[in-house]
Amino acid sequence: MTILDTIIAHKRQEVATRQSLVPVKLLEQSFYMPAQPLSLRRYLLRDDLSGIIAEFKRKSPSKGIINAHAPVERTTLGYMQAGASALSVLTDTEFFGGKNEDLTTARRFNFCPILRKDFVVDEYQIIEAKSLGADAVLLIAAVLSGEEVLRLGRLAKSLGLEVLLEIHNAEELDKTLHPDAVSLVGVNNRNLHDFSVSLDTSGELAQRIPDEYVKVTESGLSTAADIEALRAVGYRGFLMGETFMRHSRPEKACAALVQQLRATEAVTLL
């Protein structure tokens, strides 16, 4: 099995366990259930923000431990103050070192959209995301059928959540893209089989994604030049985690990059 197969098999068991411990009726009592989520789509389209979706991630299967000690509150608040458009918070524990409490902590201290980054395989996780205070959820085309994306996406939208559909190639895009389910399309530049990363993946798929969807590029971004190059071909969202998290103060790394972007934009306007 690939690492993705292993993750999904474990996730299905994990979700079944959580459902038995915390049924949907309890999730529905959350303070966040009646709240109106913020629009990730709108924040990424704002010209006064960077378009960066700054991610809080402790580890990954490909990199191992990235940053085990960064505090959620200081890091995520620092991301927002630095000029990030939105936050992404990993809640998978087994493979990424995250937890649901990371998202609820980020929600308490931030007033920008928060993407719950996890491996969604069941409707329960959509309702759970809303109960944690998330504004958007990730659906991964590599592990879901077109019918599953449609069903999960419609549930998310009924709760006011936006859906970021993650794809790796044109086949996944054609199989799962549906206007009733998806608001944003994210191109993951990481090859799931060998973990290699190429920004060319986003470049090649840019024109395949209809303009009605906000385009997001994920993985491998590290410089202002990367962002500017992909912005030029239509991307408005730039999901960045490891680039920031490998620093002792991730929020300062984010601030430095945003400053570089603003300096570049200022020169362009001259």
Q: Which helix (H) or strand (E) holds 261?
A: helix 250-269
* Annotated catalytic residue 188: yes
Q: Which entry of 11, 117, 130, 215 is annotated as an active-site residue?
A: 117
Long-range interactions of 59-68: CB distance < 8 A, separation 24+: 59/95, 59/96, 59/97, 60/95, 60/96, 60/242, 61/3, 61/7, 61/95, 61/96, 62/190, 62/195, 63/242, 65/97, 66/241, 66/242, 66/245, 66/246, 67/245, 67/246, 67/247, 67/248, 67/250, 68/97
Is 226 strand, coil or helix?
helix
The CA distance from 179 to 177, in Å, is: 7
Q: Which entry of 11, 57, 130, 215 is annotated as an active-site residue?
A: 57
Q: Which entry of 67, 215, 219, 251 is annotated as an active-site residue?
A: 219
Q: Which entry of 128, 148, 162, 218 is annotated as an active-site residue?
A: 218
Q: Which entry of 50, 55, 60, 169 is annotated as an active-site residue?
A: 55
* Annotated catalytic residue 57: yes
Q: Which entry of 60, 100, 183, 188 is annotated as an active-site residue?
A: 188
Location of structure tokens 């205070």: 133
The CA distance from 150 to 142, in Å, is: 14
Q: Which entry of 166, 172, 242, 251 is annotated as an active-site residue?
A: 166
* Annotated catalytic residue 218: yes
Measuring CA to CA, which residue among 131, 132, 130, 87 is closest to residue 111? Answer: 87
Position 49, amino acid: L
* Annotated catalytic residue 100: no
Q: How far is CA 252 from CA 75, 85, 88, in A?
A: 9, 15, 17
CA atoms within 13 A on the CB side of 45: 11
Measuring CA to CA, which residue among 235, 225, 205 is closest to residue 268? Answer: 225
Active site residues: 55, 57, 117, 166, 188, 218-219
